[in-house]
A and B are shown apart, each in its own frame.
Chain A
């Protein structure tokens, strides 16, 4: 009984309170409607967006971009991460430049990316890629480097081939860290979507937000933000689920 209370009721209390506060403030007009639109307006606009398909279109446009950037990041992040984690020379070769690129935030890269790649989809995907790449890279390297030396010794002693050691010992041992990287990368990619869509978009949730700003439509802004939040949480939940399945052998730590 008590578990139900904690699990289902507690998390809902605060959001509900906030919603009531929102309704109260806007009904009593304590806050100007151009700063915070009333729930009625927002719901009305959401319905409109659903009916004319903008909600779906925008959501899909953003998710699609994000997936493109993210999959590139996963591919290159894992590739470089594994190579740099396994071979010190590769690590030393790339580490300097990659680090320099990493510390410059995606937003600062936008002007030059636009200059080189224009204002089309390519630029947007690049920004998303850049945001997701580094968490994946760093956590993969860490995962590989963090494989307990004891495991490698066992493998060595047993005369196990390098290939099997890589696939049956190193990768599984590194997998928890790699998953951390994937989750962080996913979050970063999604957050980068808004930044990416500042570049001359005509679709997407980030675009919807900036459009709302330019056309004095705070309801559109809020809807955009809500959708970004919902989709972001959903995607994280999916990855978390996958992680728990694959890493089930890690269970027993949190019970």
Chain B
């Protein structure tokens, strides 16, 4: 009696285990950083193609019902412009993928898990230089600001005091480019330790005194200043050439498969920019809602002047060129390339 019931329970447990493994493997996505949401509008058929869109959400908050795409692109999605126009060219479905930083988005792009991505210029440039087959299809935002913030206790009161100390930012991002550029211009690059930390982890590290300063991106910057962290330096105020840009890239494969996509994207975006400038409050409310940030934080992060109608504003290209040169100089870009070879402009 003892032996056969032992055998039965053994088989039973193996079966349960196998079942659970089989079930869970169906739900695992290969990209751990991705959150898949099907933001379907009413009346979406499963028949057409899917656009897999990646974007950065560095706030640490998870998206609830709406993907946290901000800017004109987000506005276009919110108003439904994009979905309408995409349907016309056979793209009936959009899947959204959120990433905490640029490098992670790059990985997804490299492994073919997303088609279009909105991310900082620095990671986009680095990915391209390492051979990723993407095309730059426009600027989402220019003069993107960075806030270099310190701590009340164990902090510093000037840039020079950072000598021999530790600062952190998100590695490989446009904040990273700003930070390195700023330190280099002040001859501090050799004497300051730069470590990698994501924005949500920065506050604790600042409080503990592990780091003496952190370079925050949009939303997180003004948010922490509001929380009382002293502002050491702000890119747009004194060093606008160190500000970043937010770019949109698309995989060459996707563009080949959807030749009309580029003009749809460009036109829709233009339309959305015009529209949001006429409905500023509404726009900011929307961004505040999806990013779960305070309204004033949002307003400070996204001056409307930085959202241009043209896809390739001149200042954007200049900033991008400047960033690329810097990265080449620092040895981070080994194989230089021409931006105009990378751009794909709508004719």
Residues of B within 8 A of A77 (CB): none
Q: Which candidate, A3-11, A143-151, A213-221, A238-246, is the interface stretch facing chain B?
A: A213-221
Whether the Cβ atoms of B103 and A215 lie closer than 8 Å is yes
Whether the Cβ atoms of B171 and A115 lie closer than 8 Å is no
Whether the Cβ atoms of A34 and B103 lie closer than 8 Å is no
Known: A119-B210, A202-B194. A216 touches B130 (CB 8 A): yes
Q: How far is the CB of A176 from chain B (nearest CB, A)?
A: 35
Give per-residue flags for B321-343: 1 if the beta carbon is below 8 A from chain A beta carbons, else 0.
Answer: 00000000000101000000000
Known: A214-B103, A215-B126. A119 touches B132 (CB 8 A): no
Known: A202-B193, A202-B194, A217-B130. A118 touches B123 (CB 8 A): no
Per the bound structure, the CA–CA distance linking A64 and B209 in Å amounts to 24
Residues of A within 8 A of B188 (CB): none
Residue of B nearest to A200 (CB): B195
Q: How far is the CB of A154 from chain B (nearest CB, A)?
A: 41
Q: Does B2 make an interface contact (CB < 8 A)? A: no
Q: Does A210 make an interface contact (CB < 8 A)? A: yes
**Interface set, chain A 149-200, CB cutoff 8 A to B:** 200
Q: Does A201 make an interface contact (CB < 8 A)? A: yes
Residues of B within 8 A of A213 (CB): 103, 107
Q: Does B110 make an interface contact (CB < 8 A)? A: yes
Q: How far is the CB of B308 from chain A (nearest CB, A)?
A: 27
Q: Does B205 make an interface contact (CB < 8 A)? A: yes
Known: A118-B205, A213-B103, A215-B171. A33 touches B210 (CB 8 A): no
Question: Dominant SS at the A interface?
Answer: loop
Known: A35-B110, A115-B204. A216 touches B172 (CB 8 A): yes
Whether the Cβ atoms of B171 and A118 lie closer than 8 Å is no
Question: Dominant SS at the B interface?
Answer: mixed
Whether the Cβ atoms of B196 and A210 lie closer than 8 Å is yes
Known: A35-B110, A201-B195, A211-B171. A216 touches B208 (CB 8 A): no
Q: Does B131 make an interface contact (CB < 8 A)? A: yes
Residue of A nearest to B196 (CB): A200
Point out which of A33, A119, A201, A218 has the most chain B C-beta atoms below 10 A from its C-beta.
A119
Residues of A within 8 A of B130 (CB): 33-34, 37, 216-218
**Interface set, chain A 35-86, CB cutoff 8 A to B:** 35, 37, 41, 45
Residues of A within 8 A of B298 (CB): none
Per the bound structure, the CA–CA distance linking A36 and B166 in Å amounts to 33
Residue of A nearest to B111 (CB): A35
Whether the Cβ atoms of A118 and B133 lie closer than 8 Å is no
Whether the Cβ atoms of B195 and A216 lie closer than 8 Å is no
Interface residue from B172, B193, B196, B210 paired with A118 (Cβ < 8 Å): B210
Residues of B within 8 A of A120 (CB): 210
Whether the Cβ atoms of A215 and B205 lie closer than 8 Å is no
**Interface set, chain B 89-129, CB cutoff 8 A to A:** 101, 103, 106-107, 110, 123, 126-127, 129
Residues of B within 8 A of A21 (CB): none
Whether the Cβ atoms of A216 and B197 lie closer than 8 Å is no
Whether the Cβ atoms of B193 and A214 lie closer than 8 Å is no
Known: A216-B106, A216-B126. A118 touches B194 (CB 8 A): no
Interface residue from A33, A34, A35, A214 paired with B171 (Cβ < 8 Å): A214
Per the bound structure, the CA–CA distance linking A217 and B128 in Å amounts to 11
Q: How far is the CB of B203 from chain A (nearest CB, A)?
A: 12
Q: Does B250 make an interface contact (CB < 8 A)? A: no
Q: Does B86 make an interface contact (CB < 8 A)? A: no
Q: Does B76 make an interface contact (CB < 8 A)? A: no
Give per-residue flags for B131-158: 1 if the beta carbon is below 8 A from chain A beta carbons, else 0.
Answer: 1110000000000000000000000000
Per the bound structure, the CA–CA distance linking A214 and B130 in Å amounts to 12
Residues of A within 8 A of B319 (CB): none
Per the bound structure, the CA–CA distance linking A33 and B209 in Å amounts to 40
Residue of B nearest to A218 (CB): B130
Q: Does A90 make an interface contact (CB < 8 A)? A: no
Per the bound structure, the CA–CA distance linking A24 and B16 in Å amounts to 46
Per the bound structure, the CA–CA distance linking A4 and B332 in Å amounts to 46
Q: Does B302 make an interface contact (CB < 8 A)? A: no
Per the bound structure, the CA–CA distance linking A35 and B132 in Å amounts to 9
Per the bound structure, the CA–CA distance linking A45 and B130 in Å amounts to 13
Q: How far is the CB of A39 from chain B (nearest CB, A)?
A: 15
Per the bound structure, the CA–CA distance linking A184 and B131 in Å amounts to 40
**Interface set, chain A 211-237, CB cutoff 8 A to B:** 211, 213-218
Known: A118-B210, A119-B205, A216-B127. A200 touches B197 (CB 8 A): yes
Q: A32-B133, A201-B195 are known contacts; what are 17 more A-B pairs with Cβ within 8 Å? A: A33-B131, A41-B334, A114-B201, A118-B208, A119-B195, A200-B168, A202-B195, A210-B171, A213-B103, A214-B101, A214-B171, A214-B172, A215-B171, A216-B103, A216-B127, A216-B132, A217-B126
Give 27 pairs: A residue, B residue, CB < 8 Å, sorted on A.
Answer: A32-B132, A33-B130, A33-B131, A41-B334, A114-B201, A114-B204, A118-B209, A119-B195, A119-B197, A119-B205, A119-B210, A200-B196, A201-B195, A202-B166, A202-B193, A202-B195, A210-B171, A211-B171, A211-B196, A214-B171, A214-B196, A215-B172, A215-B332, A216-B103, A216-B127, A217-B130, A217-B334
3 tightest Cβ-Cβ pairs between the two chains A and B:
A214-B172, A33-B131, A200-B195
* Interface residue ranges, A against B (CB under 8 Å): 32-35, 37, 41, 45, 114-115, 118-120, 200-202, 210-211, 213-218
